[in-house]
């Protein structure tokens, strides 16, 4: 009994850390226009707020896991939690666009140190039956945390605690992070790590430089009419990408195992995941911007009007497991088709100049329903043909791709939106953005046929 209480306490601490990450990954979707209005920075700041966090999280996620293996998971968990809390404070007291962007980058980097440790601690100390129970709780709670991020942001901004406005969405992390740190210090088991573990520092630098160059070039270029400097920065990012791939082929301890790319199913899933998670991040942000900038919704109203997306995700997630047995990998294609249908309905409404935000609820619900069919299943089928000894590297690579594609997807889609908006009505900007998203969805549907026929078991 006492041992069970200890294990559930560890799970609770790990879940607090993961919930902080999930909430902060999406919380600025609602607050971005208000933050930009307060601090200045306009379009570029709105794009960086979400993309910057996902960028450093994705670049350092795998490295963070290796650092935990080397120096001890408990130590890295505590460093990550303390640093994440301080970075949240810096976001909450920011007085300039540059300050909050840097704070968000640091927040994502510290999150990347924090998040991998929890799963490693559980894997080391939980018996198999406890891990099964933990996963049954973990998945739904984290899904709800992701969905509730924008809703929580809207509620906090409306509450205007101590007249803090949007700052409260970051300052609340001080309370949660401090309590989480104290609990982790008292509850998490001590470990010494393994000093023989090696980390591919060169590969990490190349990956970080590549992503930063591409993201900066896209955001800077879209805001400043694609000047030569922005194009050169994007080209440098492509060069760094080639160097990163070369490094992964040569390094003794690569970030991504090169053998994984010889597996057609995994490679297809990795590319599909890159486009899918970019679509999800960009679409959710785009709809939030439209509700606020186009229809004049307050952050709270926009968060409520996004609730159908959350309901759709939850509803389809609940009915997905039994459907997998009947449909196999086609469940992902079905989900993508549903997203495309919702997109088409909203596109048609935009051509009719519909201005009642709740009129878009059915289309938004459909998009969420399609997303719910894809979230967990995409990972499961991607690792369907992976050898057991490669499962850890494969899962880590997929998680990193999820974060990195979220940053790139949000930046690309909002760039299309802002570029068109300069010379056309906001409905036209939404229409062109939707066409770009639709093209990416069609590509994803084509890739589904290349996935393994059966799902893997790594996530269950």
Per-residue pLDDT tens over the stretch 328-379: 899 999 999 999 999 999 999 999 999 999 999 999 999 999 999 998 688 8
Q: Do 264 and 238 sit in the same domain of this protein? A: no
Last residue of a domain, one of 196, 218, 240: 196
Question: From residue 250, how far is each of 90, 202, 247, 254 by CA, in Å?
Answer: 39, 11, 5, 8
Phi, psi angles (nearest 5°) of residue 296:
75, 20
Share of the chain above pLDDT 70, in %: 94
Q: Report the CATH number at residue 425.
A: 1.20.1250.20
Q: Do 214 and 116 sit in the same domain of this protein? A: no
Q: Do the Cβ atoms of 54 and 403 come closer than 8 Å?
A: yes
Which of 66-80, 362-376, 385-399, 439-453 is least confident?
Answer: 385-399
Question: From residue 460, how far is each of 9, 139, 185, 260, 329 by CA, in Å?
Answer: 21, 10, 28, 21, 17
Other C-beta atoms closer than 10 Å to the C-beta of 38 total 17
pLDDT at 459: 40
Q: Do the Cβ atoms of 54 and 404 come closer than 8 Å?
A: yes
Phi, psi angles (nearest 5°) of residue 282:
-70, -40
Determine the Cα–Cα distance for residues 265 and 302; give it in Å rounded to an integer. 39
Q: Do 106 and 236 sit in the same domain of this protein? A: no
Please tell me which residue, 388 or 200, carries the higher pLDDT value. 200
Tokens of 408: 């790139």
Structural domain range at position 243: 200-252
pLDDT at 123: 75
Q: Do 215 and 309 sit in the same domain of this protein? A: no
Q: Do 176 and 240 sit in the same domain of this protein? A: no
Last residue of a domain, one of 183, 217, 252: 252
pLDDT over 50 at 134, yes or no: yes
Q: Do 175 and 278 sit in the same domain of this protein? A: no
pLDDT at 460: 38
Average pLDDT over residues 246-272: 83
pLDDT over 90 at 180, yes or no: yes
Question: From residue 188, how far is each of 119, 175, 191 by CA, in Å?
Answer: 12, 19, 9
Q: Do 269 and 401 sit in the same domain of this protein? A: yes
Average pLDDT over residues 450-457: 74
Predicted confidence band of residue 138 (pLDDT cuts 50, 70, 90): low
Token match 């041992």: residue?
Answer: 3
Determine the Cα–Cα distance for residues 445 and 353; give it in Å rounded to an integer. 30
pLDDT over 80 at 399, yes or no: no
Q: Do 353 and 381 sit in the same domain of this protein? A: yes
Number of domains in the chain: 3
Average pLDDT over residues 208-222: 89
Q: Do 222 and 183 sit in the same domain of this protein? A: no
Q: Do 285 and 385 sit in the same domain of this protein? A: yes
Determine the Cα–Cα distance for residues 376 and 310; give it in Å rounded to an integer. 15
Predicted confidence band of residue 226 (pLDDT cuts 50, 70, 90): confident
Q: Do 265 and 247 sit in the same domain of this protein? A: no
pLDDT over 80 at 258, yes or no: no
pLDDT over 90 at 36, yes or no: yes
């Amino acid at each position: 009994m006492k041992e069970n209480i200890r294990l559930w306490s560890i799970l609770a601490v790990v879940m607090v850390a993961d919930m902080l990450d999930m909430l902060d990954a999406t919380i600025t979707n609602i607050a971005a226009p208000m933050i930009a209005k307060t601090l200045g920075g306009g379009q570029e700041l709105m794009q960086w707020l979400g993309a910057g966090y996902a960028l450093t999280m994705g670049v350092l996620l795998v490295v963070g896991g290796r650092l935990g293996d080397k120096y001890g998971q408990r130590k890295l968990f505590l460093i990550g939690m303390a640093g994440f809390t301080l970075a949240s404070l810096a976001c909450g007291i920011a007085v300039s666009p540059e300050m909050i962007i840097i704070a968000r980058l640091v927040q994502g980097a510290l999150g990347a140190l924090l998040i991998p440790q929890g799963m490693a601690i559980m894997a080391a100390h939980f018996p198999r039956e406890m891990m099964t129970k933990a996963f049954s709780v973990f998945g739904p709670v984290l899904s709800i945390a992701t969905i509730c991020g924008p809703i929580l942001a809207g509620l906090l901004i409306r509450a205007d605690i101590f007249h803090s406005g949007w700052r409260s969405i970051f300052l609340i992390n001080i309370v949660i992070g401090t309590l989480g740190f104290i609990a982790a210090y008292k509850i998490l088991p001590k470990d010494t790590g393994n000093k023989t573990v090696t980390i591919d520092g060169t590969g990490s630098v190349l990956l970080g430089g590549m992503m930063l160059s591409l993201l900066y070039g896209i955001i800077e270029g879209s805001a400043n009419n694609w000047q030569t400097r922005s194009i050169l920065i994007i080209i440098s990012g492509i060069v760094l990408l080639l160097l990163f791939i070369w490094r992964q082929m040569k390094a003794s301890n690569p970030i991504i195992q090169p053998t994984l790319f010889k597996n057609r199913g995994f490679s297809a899933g990795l590319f599909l995941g890159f486009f899918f998670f970019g679509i999800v991040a960009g679409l959710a942000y785009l709809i939030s911007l439209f509700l606020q900038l186009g229809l004049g919704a307050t952050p709270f109203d926009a968060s409520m009007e996004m609730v159908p997306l959350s309901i759709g995700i939850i509803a389809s997630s609940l009915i997905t497991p039994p459907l997998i047995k009947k449909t196999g990998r086609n469940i992902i294609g079905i989900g993508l088709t549903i997203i495309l249908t919702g997109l088409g309905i909203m596109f048609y409404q935009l051509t009719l100049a519909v201005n009642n935000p709740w009129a878009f609820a059915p289309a938004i619900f459909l998009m969420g329903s399609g997303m719910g069919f894809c979230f967990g299943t995409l990972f499961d089928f991607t690792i369907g043909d992976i050898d057991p000894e490669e499962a850890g590297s494969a899962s880590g690579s997929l998680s990193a791709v999820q974060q990195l594609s979220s940053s790139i997807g949000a930046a690309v889609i909002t760039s299309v939106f802002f570029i068109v908006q300069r010379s056309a009505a906001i409905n036209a900007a939404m229409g062109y953005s939707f066409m770009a998203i639709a093209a990416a969805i069609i590509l994803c549907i084509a890739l589904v046929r290349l996935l393994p026929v059966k799902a893997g078991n790594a996530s269950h």
